[in-house]
Chains A and B, each alone.
Chain A
Amino acid sequence: AQSVTQLDSQVPVFEEAPVELRCNYSSSVSVYLFWYVQYPNQGLQLLLKYLSGSTLVKGINGFEAEFNKSQTSFHLRKPSVHISDTAEYFCAVTTGANNLFFGTGTRLTVIP
């Protein structure tokens, strides 16, 4: 079975500072990895995804993530955050067999 662990439930960071949101997964087979963002009272939106190829994936709003197979990680980064980045971020994994498992989420709060 697959699982996803997001190590930090809350991450406060000052505006224009860099941020890293951590995600680790476990699976005995190859996986596809995603980061989704949820703004208050809204559904989830895709930030970026890793399917294959380059391990550094760039997404929307200046976010990027790096797939590290040896460490089974897919951490999300942004070099300079804005107030508008305040949201909840979810890491997700699928093997492609109609399953999409989510982590418990990380609430990013950007402080002015």
Chain B
Amino acid sequence: NAGVTQTPKFQVLKTGQSMTLQCAQDMNHNSMYWYRQDPGMGLRLIYYSASEGTTDKGEVPNGYNVSRLNKREFSLRLESAAPSQTSVYFCASSEKPSGDRAFFGQGTRLTVV
């Protein structure tokens, strides 16, 4: 049982380049999330999706777009990468948002130079 799978694990981008971070879960969860983790700031919610076809902004959505392609997959896109987007990105999923545990992927370490 793979749980939550993120690709790639590492990426280096030049300022202005674009890329998509992929996330897939095999637990039939309805809710999916994208977080970024920065030193001293914990995890901050970028976007979430309560169900297939719906997405909503979190705390720090600027510079990102998301797509809930189907129930399994939730991708995060950086259209024009900036050094401030250097971070570790985590995808998570849960069966329902109300008091349910979230399962996390292994993370994507992104560096923008």
A interface list, Cβ under 8 A from B: 4, 6, 9, 32, 34, 36, 41-46, 49, 51, 90, 94, 96-105
> CA–CA, A6 to B42, complex, Å?
10
> Smallest Cβ distance from A4 to chain B, in angstroms?
8
**B12 within 8 Å of A by Cβ?**
no
> Smallest Cβ distance from A43 to chain B, in angstroms?
3
Is the pair A100, B99 in contact by a Cβ cutoff of 8 Å? no
> Smallest Cβ distance from A55 to chain B, in angstroms?
16
What is the total number of residues of chain B having a CB less than 8 Å from a CB of chain A?
26
> CA–CA, A98 to B57, complex, Å?
10
Residue of B nearest to A33 (CB): B99
Residue of A nearest to B43 (CB): A102
B51-82 interface bits toward A, Cβ cutoff 8 Å, 1 = contact, 0 = none: 00000101100000000000000000000000
Is the pair A90, B43 in contact by a Cβ cutoff of 8 Å? yes
Q: How many A-B residue pairs have CB under 8 A?
A: 64
Closest 3 CB pairs of A and B: A96-B98, A43-B104, A32-B99
Is the pair A94, B99 in contact by a Cβ cutoff of 8 Å? yes
Residue of A nearest to B107 (CB): A43
**B97 within 8 Å of A by Cβ?**
yes
> Smallest Cβ distance from B21 to chain A, in angstroms?
14
Residue of A nearest to B3 (CB): A43
Residues of B within 8 A of A46 (CB): 101-102
**B41 within 8 Å of A by Cβ?**
yes
Residues of B within 8 A of A100 (CB): 33, 45, 92, 97, 102
Residue of B nearest to A99 (CB): B45
> CA–CA, A103 to B42, complex, Å?
6
- Known A32-B98, A94-B99, A100-B45: A43·B105 in contact at CB below 8 Å: yes
Residues of B within 8 A of A49 (CB): 99, 101
> CA–CA, A104 to B35, complex, Å?
13
